[in-house]
A and B are shown apart, each in its own frame.
Chain A
Amino acid sequence: MPREITYREALREGLDEELAFDDNVVIIGEEVAEYNGAYKVTEGLWKKWGDKRIIDAPISEAGFIGMGIGASMLGIRPVMELMFFSFAYVAFDQMMNNAATCRYMSGGLIHVPIVVRGPANGGTNVGATHSHTPENIFANMPGLKVVSPSDGYDAKGLIKSAIRDNDPVYFMESTVLYGEKCEVPSNDELEDGELVIPLGKAKVKREGADISLIAHGRAVVTSLEAAQILEEKHSIHAEVLDLRSIRPLDEQAILDTVRKTHRAVYIEENKPFCGVGAQISSMIMEQAFDDLDAPVLRITSADAPAFYSPPIEELQLPTAEEIAERALSIC
């Protein structure tokens, strides 16, 4: 019987294993220790690892993330939790200037092995200030890496790679996915004895030959539902490619699926203007124009701040039905 755990538990296992793997790993964030995590990702870790390794921070994102960046320069590997990635904006100078550019401006003398992780999603009726999806904004900055896992298996394997990485990695999760279960093998079931997934490797989550649905984060889950609809109602076999990591980007996997199906849709819960899909569709146009049988489509959240009213906010985000319908328009 394969082991199934939630996305939240998978992340926690990854964190716990890295705390054991390297004494320099510390977890710092609001409510991560005694409160057991605002979203319970770090539940139990303070009890197990104590005050030195798991640290409750005051509500002071610029301060504690900047502090983590400084500490990382001297060899600490801080894993900073943002209760919401929306709060990254009060730490923006630290995250964009100090984390991303110190290496460059020092001519390579410094590196910043920090992870900043937390949920980056809308769809939970918390209003615009708590619903930002800044993956495109941070991926715009050379020097940063941006990761967005869509299930627990990837979440565990990717968080371990992110912590071991020697560059700053911004790891964007989803509160909507935290409770979702999936198969995550325990270490004794694995040949290597642990689950580590390299950054920059996309994954085909469903094979198909007629159209490529390319996505990251929770949009992958929605795309898988759309692929099911396309198959059942229209006999169209959609391939679903999960980027997993936005920067570095698995360009080859994108080109491979486009060359296989000749049709591509990019789906994300990000905004459309200069969104991740804009980058990907431009890249497909530049490198696989002759392979395309139709224009590349982009499906994003509505180009508006997140609406509070629950039934209306639902309409702002991509749905499986919308994806299926738009996909049909180019098939």
Chain B
Amino acid sequence: MRGNFLKEMAEKKKSKPTAPYADDPINANLTDEEKIDMLRTLVRIRRFEQTSLKHYHSGSIGGFLHLYIGQESVAVGSISLLGDDDHVITAYRDHGHALSVGMGMDECMAELFGKKTGCSKGKGGSMHYFAPDKNYWGGHGIVGGQTPLGAGLAFALKYQGKKGCCLCYLGDGAINQGAFHEALNLAALWDLPVIFIIENNGYSMGTSQARSSAFPEEGLAARAKGYNMDWDVMEGVSLYEIRAGVQKAITRAHEESRPTLLEIKTYRHKGHSVADANAEKYRTKEEIQKYIQEHDPIDFWKHTLIEEGVITEDDYKAINKEAGDEANAAADFAIKSPFPDESEIFDDIYWEVDNNTAAGRTGRHFFHK
């Protein structure tokens, strides 16, 4: 009975049966095409990851694979709001943000396969996607380690007099890292236009929030109070709600150069990484199924658009098929791409060496053999 989800939500909120936050100024003027674009991005992320999972299981992809399935609305909703001088940085669950900023499935898939055609030439892997030309600064593997960098990107924007901001994503587990607290303090102290977005999926790997974090009833983001920083907590199922909440923070960053700490409640359908065999042990099957069936952001957005008359079920099927075909084609591209050459091991370490400058030619830089 998922078709009634929207009505049920509306009844709960005791409002007329339009999606909550649909009337927010940032949402009211969305064109049908823009709404469909967001649906397409949500579906593309999911199909990309489902395809990558298949190839991970077949042994074509090494290392870790941290899937974003269930959380797609957070990246899609927030990144849909960004302009030319706004920047993005995130942690290792980074595929969704990468596709949201406009990176292509081919380069992202090839990176997972460790191929030369990957976005990082096979040097970074799943956790380390970058696209500076799209204002996308990674893809960082150490929990919380990207948060000072996010403050730094905002520092640079402010220093250069640009009216931009940095969206710095982190998981709920990262809020207990010292670097995160240091970044919050610097951002608030120096009025940096950075928005820290805690994607709260309830678990730091296999440890629930209750077992890992001390926080008041209002939520994790309330920690911002101690830094005199604005904060907000929102549900992460609806793109409308995410866009409305994040836009306030963006306006604050653009107009007042003030940071914000946001907490967006979401849920990952899969384990911490694919290697997380305990995914159904620290959470019950019932809990996982409940979120998949009742809180899936793609389902929610699809039904919202159907009820608004923007798309039909057939349109959705076409979008889904197109995304699936694109993901399969990306996997074919990755499979057919060559592995990097051994000679590339010593590229991309020093800028000065890569660019063959006088500095790069002076003294010995590498000490193997």
A93 to B177: give the CA distance in the assembly, Å: 12
User: Which of chain B's residues 123-149 have a Cβ closer than 8 Å to chain A?
Assistant: 123-124, 128, 130-132, 137-142, 145-149
- CB pair A199 B359 closer than 8 Å: yes
Interface: B153 (CB within 8 A): yes
Closest Cβ–Cβ distance, residue B153 to chain A (whole Å) = 5
Contacts of B359 in A (CB 8 A): 161, 165-166, 198-200
- CB pair B349 A66 closer than 8 Å: no
Contacts of A200 in B (CB 8 A): 359, 362-365
- CB pair A70 B182 closer than 8 Å: no
- CB pair B120 A65 closer than 8 Å: no
A68 to B151: give the CA distance in the assembly, Å: 9
A142 to B182: give the CA distance in the assembly, Å: 27
Contacts of A76 in B (CB 8 A): 152, 155-156, 159-160
Determine the residue in chain B with the shortest Cβ distance to A73: B137
- CB pair A62 B178 closer than 8 Å: yes
Interface: B118 (CB within 8 A): yes
- CB pair A74 B352 closer than 8 Å: no
- CB pair A104 B183 closer than 8 Å: no
A52 to B358: give the CA distance in the assembly, Å: 31
Contacts of A26 in B (CB 8 A): 159
Determine the residue in chain B with the shortest Cβ distance to A52: B159
- CB pair A94 B123 closer than 8 Å: no
Contacts of B119 in A (CB 8 A): 107
Closest Cβ–Cβ distance, residue B337 to chain A (whole Å) = 14
- CB pair B186 A64 closer than 8 Å: yes
Interface: B351 (CB within 8 A): yes
- CB pair A105 B130 closer than 8 Å: yes
- CB pair A108 B363 closer than 8 Å: no
- CB pair A105 B128 closer than 8 Å: yes
- CB pair B365 A247 closer than 8 Å: yes
Determine the residue in chain A with the shortest Cβ distance to B147: A66
Interface: A58 (CB within 8 A): yes
Closest Cβ–Cβ distance, residue B76 to chain A (whole Å) = 23
Contacts of A111 in B (CB 8 A): 351
Interface: A167 (CB within 8 A): yes
- Cβ-neighbour of A107 out of B124, B366, B367 (below 8 A): B124
How many contacts A-B (CB < 8 Å)?
Answer: 191
- Cβ-neighbour of A62 out of B120, B139, B148 (below 8 A): B148
Interface: A214 (CB within 8 A): no
- CB pair A94 B366 closer than 8 Å: no
Interface: B214 (CB within 8 A): no
Contacts of B150 in A (CB 8 A): 70
Interface: A201 (CB within 8 A): yes
- CB pair B179 A63 closer than 8 Å: yes
User: Which of chain A's residues 57-81 have a Cβ closer than 8 Å to chain B?
Assistant: 57-58, 60, 62-76
Q: Produce 1/0 per residue, A231-258, CB < 8 A to B.
A: 0000000000000010111110000000
A103 to B141: give the CA distance in the assembly, Å: 14
Q: Produce 1/0 per residue, B332-368, CB < 8 A to A.
A: 0000000000000001111110110111001111110
Determine the residue in chain A with the shortest Cβ distance to B122: A107
- CB pair B349 A104 closer than 8 Å: yes
Interface: B157 (CB within 8 A): yes
Closest Cβ–Cβ distance, residue B113 to chain A (whole Å) = 14
A68 to B182: give the CA distance in the assembly, Å: 13
- CB pair A93 B142 closer than 8 Å: yes
User: Which of chain A's residues 7-56 have a Cβ closer than 8 Å to chain B?
Assistant: 24, 26, 52, 55
Contacts of B364 in A (CB 8 A): 200, 248-251
Interface: B283 (CB within 8 A): no
Interface: A109 (CB within 8 A): yes
Interface: B121 (CB within 8 A): yes
- CB pair B149 A75 closer than 8 Å: no
- CB pair A60 B152 closer than 8 Å: no
Contacts of A113 in B (CB 8 A): 351
Interface: B320 (CB within 8 A): no
- CB pair B351 A68 closer than 8 Å: no
- CB pair B152 A69 closer than 8 Å: yes
Interface: B185 (CB within 8 A): yes
Contacts of A75 in B (CB 8 A): 156, 160
User: Which of chain A's residues 174-190 have a Cβ closer than 8 Å to chain B?
Assistant: none
A110 to B157: give the CA distance in the assembly, Å: 17
Closest Cβ–Cβ distance, residue A198 to chain B (whole Å) = 5
Contacts of B81 in A (CB 8 A): none
A73 and B121 in contact, given A63-B185, A166-B351, A200-B364 (Cβ under 8 angstroms): no
Closest Cβ–Cβ distance, residue A106 to chain B (whole Å) = 4
Contacts of A58 in B (CB 8 A): 185-186, 189
25 contacts between A and B (CB under 8 A): A55-B190, A60-B185, A63-B183, A66-B183, A67-B148, A67-B149, A67-B152, A70-B156, A71-B155, A75-B160, A76-B152, A76-B156, A93-B142, A93-B179, A98-B145, A104-B124, A107-B119, A107-B121, A107-B348, A108-B348, A109-B120, A110-B137, A113-B351, A143-B350, A198-B358
Residues of A within 8 A of B (CB): 24, 26, 52, 55, 57-58, 60, 62-76, 93-94, 97-98, 102-111, 113, 142-143, 145, 161, 165-167, 198-201, 245, 247-251, 279, 283
Which are the 6 A-B pairs with shortest beta-carbon distances? A200-B363, A70-B152, A66-B148, A63-B182, A248-B363, A70-B149
